[in-house]
DNA sequence: CGGCTGCTTGATCGCTCTCAAATGGGGTGG
DNA sequence: CCACCCCATTTGAGAGCGATCAAGCAGCCG
């Protein structure tokens, strides 16, 4: 457990599901947590495994993805520090419906099922927070669903990038860098298209000076240009 | 109609969120509920309204749908008797993200926000059940998302119909009838396509003897045929 | 019976997938 | 330190699914 950085209960204070819980509750949670690290590429859990653990990410970035019966990959979401993932045990699911893999070096806490049950019993507010988080996630998936059903690929990719900027954007000179390795394939699986189409789109944006991208790297040079594509505004916004 | 049947707490026993709650809790819930009826086409709530009520459907069928900023309609789901809808207040959302309209004559119970809060406080198991329901819904949306991202329209329509059979299928001679008025447009909004494409697909299925359909009516004659289309099996299954 | 609403069907267009092949950057092992 | 190999990416060509546009049709209700 909390090998370095001393008090893990301090880390938990910033995590939404543990908010407003009081220090004794945090200590309670921290004491029953297991500390987990993963190198880039490491796996937290795999789709189909018995869902017996809940995770909270302290540092790093995790890709949560699904494989359809036909073998297509879908990226469900990217989780960052302070976010919860593998929340299936919270609501009684049997198996993980997705795989969670570390995109960068990761550091996480986790609780087994009986631990989460006990925590939620003792601190009912945790259940309320869990409800809130799940509700928000539901709203988000629905909005992505609507997007997929009604929007063109280019706009979907623009929106996905803007969302990623919000989650993992880092200001650098000349733009905003997405702070973890993100391949064309990843973007394609996130937006429901193919890496070829993503590559073409990024190339055209690069030509327009909107982004600068390379091997698993994306820098947004003109966020406003992306916004014009993402929203209804005319394309060709030159910020 | 359910107006008779006396005791509303009896009605609640079959609703998942109230399961295992004990009769006093049911009476508690029933006593604070408001009974609501809507004629076909009536509205329970509209997208964007302040989300102040939770609903449980006792009878009838409700369409939950969204309009995107660009004006496209999306059907989120169809709810049947015993199901909960408008659960936004449960997890603290401000506004309804969708509109709930009665597809048939409907009869429902509803609680205002303070009522649901109080109920969940007094009966924590309700919160657990709510978590379960939300989790299941999340899993379902994700699977529909994956479907939309990776499957052809015909297969999506087949799967949607099969799901509807499970929810509202009624065996009649010569097949299974979807028991509420369902237009081509509805099916299109449910599967992320256009009414034209749905119409063409249904026509071709009709030719193959798989379905029989008319104005806002669909009868599945050969469910197995639909399954062959929905799954990976070769098409042309003649059950 | 007439009009409205939902359904059908044809024709065309174009976005996006698919298939194919080449390119290049980066890390690794020698 | 260099060469090689692997993997991500780029780019072209072509096909096809499904959207869009445009009429016409038919059941149903008033």
Q: DSSP string covering B93-131, please?
A: -SB-SSEEEESS-EEEEEEEHHHHHHHHHH-HHHHHHHH
- A93 with A186, same domain: the answer is no
Residue A154 pLDDT grade (very low, low, confident, very high; cuts 50, 70, 90): very high
Confidence check: pLDDT of A9 > 90: no
Q: Which of the listed residues A90, A117, A148 is the one where a domain comes to its end?
A: A148
Q: What angle do CA A101, A103, A107 make, to 5 degrees?
A: 80
- A99-143 pLDDT, tens digit each: 999 999 999 999 999 999 898 888 888 888 999 999 999 999 999
Query: Is there a domain that residue A3 lies in?
Result: no
- CA–CA gap between residue B94 and residue A213 (Å, rounded): 38
Query: Is there a domain that residue A236 lies in?
Result: no
Q: What angle do CA B129, B131, B18 make, to 5 degrees?
A: 20
Task: Record the pTM.
Answer: 0.92
Predicted local distance difference test score (pLDDT) of residue B127: 86
Residue A234 pLDDT grade (very low, low, confident, very high; cuts 50, 70, 90): low
- A44 with A122, same domain: the answer is yes
- B83 with B29, same domain: the answer is yes
- CA–CA gap between residue B134 and residue B146 (Å, rounded): 18
Tell me the residues of A at the B interface, defined by beta carbons under 8 Å apart.
66, 68-70, 72, 74, 76, 87-88, 90-93, 97, 120, 124, 127-128, 130-132, 134-139, 141-151, 192, 232
Confidence check: pLDDT of A215 > 80: yes
Q: Which of the listed residues B122, B148, B174 is the one where a domain comes to its end?
A: B148
Q: What is the CATH number of the domain that holds A159?
A: 1.10.10.10
- B13 with B69, same domain: the answer is yes
Neighbours of A212 (CB within 10 A): 16
Burial pattern A141-155, b for ≥16 Cβ within 10 A else e, equals bbebbbbbbbbebbb
Q: Is the CB of A167 under 7 A from strand D?
A: no
Predicted local distance difference test score (pLDDT) of residue B132: 92
Query: Is there a domain that residue B211 lies in?
Result: yes
Q: What is the CATH number of the domain that holds A82?
A: 2.60.120.10
Structural domain count, chain A = 2
Report CB contact under 8 Å: B70, A150.
Answer: yes
Nearest to A115 by CA among A62, A181, A56, A173: A56
- CA–CA gap between residue B106 and residue B89 (Å, rounded): 21
- B52 with B129, same domain: the answer is yes
- B119 with B169, same domain: the answer is no
- A158 with A143, same domain: the answer is no
- B104 with B178, same domain: the answer is no
Predicted local distance difference test score (pLDDT) of residue B25: 86
Give me the residues of chain B with pLDDT under 70, please: 1-8, 233-239
- A43 with A98, same domain: the answer is yes
- A207 with A219, same domain: the answer is yes
Residue spans of alpha helices (H) in B34-183: 113-122, 124-150, 153-168
Residue percentage of chain A with pLDDT more than 70: 94
Report CB contact under 8 Å: B91, A149.
Answer: no
Domain that holds residue B164: 152-230
DSSP three-state, residue A79: strand
Query: Is there a domain that residue B238 lies in?
Result: no
- CA–CA gap between residue B213 and residue A8 (Å, rounded): 61
Residue A25 pLDDT grade (very low, low, confident, very high; cuts 50, 70, 90): confident
Q: Which of the listed residues A99, A123, A148 is the one where a domain comes to its end?
A: A148
Confidence check: pLDDT of A70 > 80: yes
Query: Is there a domain that residue A235 lies in?
Result: no
- A24 with A111, same domain: the answer is yes
Note the CA–C1' distance, A194 to D13, in angstroms: 17
Average pLDDT in the A162-183 region?
94
Query: Is there a domain that residue B239 lies in?
Result: no
Query: Is there a domain that residue A94 lies in?
Result: yes
Query: Is there a domain that residue B77 lies in?
Result: yes
Q: Are A18 and A29 in contact (CB under 8 A)?
A: yes
- A15 with A110, same domain: the answer is yes
Residue A2 pLDDT grade (very low, low, confident, very high; cuts 50, 70, 90): very low
DSSP three-state, residue A46: coil
């Amino acid at each position: 457990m909390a090998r370095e950085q001393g008090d893990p209960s301090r880390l938990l204070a910033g995590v939404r599901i543990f908010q407003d819980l009081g220090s004794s509750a945090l200590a309670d949670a921290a004491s029953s947590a297991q500390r987990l690290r993963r190198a880039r590429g490491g796996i937290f859990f795999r789709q189909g495994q018995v869902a017996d653990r809940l995770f909270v990410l302290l540092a790093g970035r995790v890709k949560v993805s699904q494989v359809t019966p036909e073998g297509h990959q879908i990226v469900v979401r990217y989780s960052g520090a302070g976010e919860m993932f593998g929340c299936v045990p919270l609501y009684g699911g049997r198996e993980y419906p997705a795989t969670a893999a570390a995109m960068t070096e990761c550091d996480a806490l986790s609780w087994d099922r009986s631990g989460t049950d006990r925590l939620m019993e003792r601190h009912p507010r945790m259940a309320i927070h869990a409800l809130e988080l799940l509700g928000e996630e539901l709203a988000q998936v629905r909005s992505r669903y609507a997007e997929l059903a009604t929007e063109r690929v280019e706009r979907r990719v623009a929106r996905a990038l803007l969302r990623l900027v919000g989650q993992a954007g880092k200001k650098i000179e000349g733009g905003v860098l997405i702070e973890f390795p993100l391949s064309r394939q990843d973007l394609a699986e996130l937006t429901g298209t193919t890496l070829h189409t993503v590559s073409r789109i990024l190339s055209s944006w690069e030509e327009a000076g909107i982004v600068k991208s390379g091997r698993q790297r994306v820098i947004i040079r003109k966020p406003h240009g992306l916004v014009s594509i993402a929203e209804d505004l005319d394309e060709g916004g030159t910020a």
